[in-house]
Amino acid sequence: MYSESDLDAAVAAGKLTPDEAAKFRAFIAAQQTAPAVDEEYVRLVSGFNDIFVSIALMLVLVALGALTAVTGLPGLWVAAASWGLAEYFTRQRRMALPSLLLLATYTLGVGATLIWLIGLNLGTGIALAFGTLVPAATSGMLLICPALIGAAAYAHWRRFRVPITPAAGAAGVIFFGMAMLMGLAPGLRPLWSWLLLAAGLGVFWLALRWDMSDRARITRRSDVAFWLHLLAAPLIVHPLFHMLGLLHGSANAAQAMAAIAIYLGLGVVALLVDRRALLVSGLFYLFSALSAVLRATGMLGHGLATTALVAGAALLLLSAFWHKARAGVMALTPPGLRAMLPPA
């Protein structure tokens, strides 16, 4: 059995040309009656050894973090160990899932170290970033933290080229950027949802740039775009639902309809850019809004189960007719815009 990673490695080694790899993917997809460009391949696991190694890595890194907690900088030790382990498991072995986990622990380790240097802990750092904390004194480290986390992610990308790295770096820059703005300019706290929405739209634009550079989705750029889309959706939906009052534990029927309208709009965008990840990221917020309405009407029990059944059935139906639905939406799209999107 050949995995997507094997095909990429063959292309990188010059054994196959990108066109030959694309034709092979198209042939396999045709056997499954689905276009290759629409399959949205994500390279996560190439074998059970990936899972085995990932479990071992987590045990080692969690233990290392616990043992170095007395130093006050466990995140720095975890980040350094993650980089060192990536030299073997990512650069040499090219293991998909371990590479993702090592990138995640590296980024979290760097982030935890920066939070410690600011003089906060994780809880107060999150509260600061979301505008729910007014710090008594703000460290000057806030001024350079977004640049530091971005530089750390960029260095990891240059070395290892793990597709999730740009999304992880963007998430870190947004987190520390929001904390910097809220800490140094408390007057912006009421605008945090607008700022987060702007950040989400920026990430979505960046994802589209990566997508448009590989419309046939045969290179690693498509994987990078996938993770950026997965990050962009909650950054867009969360502030929208917050501004509509849908995340406060109480909502009325009109607000529920607004939540459904937002999700349907997200569905149209997902069809246009051919990214199911947008629907997955926004699904949690849709359920949060609808569960608030069900709580208010006293129908939480069976009502929530019914909502889950309807939403799940709708997503399954959309998955079955994804290609036809996308072709219909693309037919209504202006030719100039259509030329920049993945072909239907």
Residues belonging to the chain: 344
Predicted pLDDT of residue 295: 64
Q: Quick one: pLDDT at residue 152? A: 96
Look at residue 263 in the predicted model and tell me its pLDDT. Answer: 83
- Distance, in Å, from the CA atom of 296 to the CA atom of 253, rounded to the nearest integer, reads 10
Q: Computed over its alpha carbons, how large is the radius of gyration of the chain?
A: 22
- Each residue's pLDDT expressed in tens, for the chain with a length of 344 residues: 455 666 677 777 777 777 777 777 667 655 544 445 556 666 677 778 889 999 999 999 999 999 998 887 899 999 999 999 999 999 998 898 999 999 999 999 999 998 888 877 777 777 777 777 766 556 777 888 899 999 999 999 999 999 999 999 999 999 999 888 888 888 888 898 999 999 999 999 999 999 888 887 777 888 899 999 999 988 998 888 888 777 665 666 677 777 778 888 888 898 999 888 778 877 777 776 677 666 666 655 555 676 677 777 878 888 888 888 888 888 888 888 888 888 87
pLDDT at 33: 47
Helix (H, G, I), strand (E, B) or coil at 33: coil
pLDDT of residue 164: 93
CB 317 within 8 A of CB 11: no
Distance separating alpha carbons of residues 337 and 333, to the nearest angstrom? 7
Supply 68's token pair: 């170095």
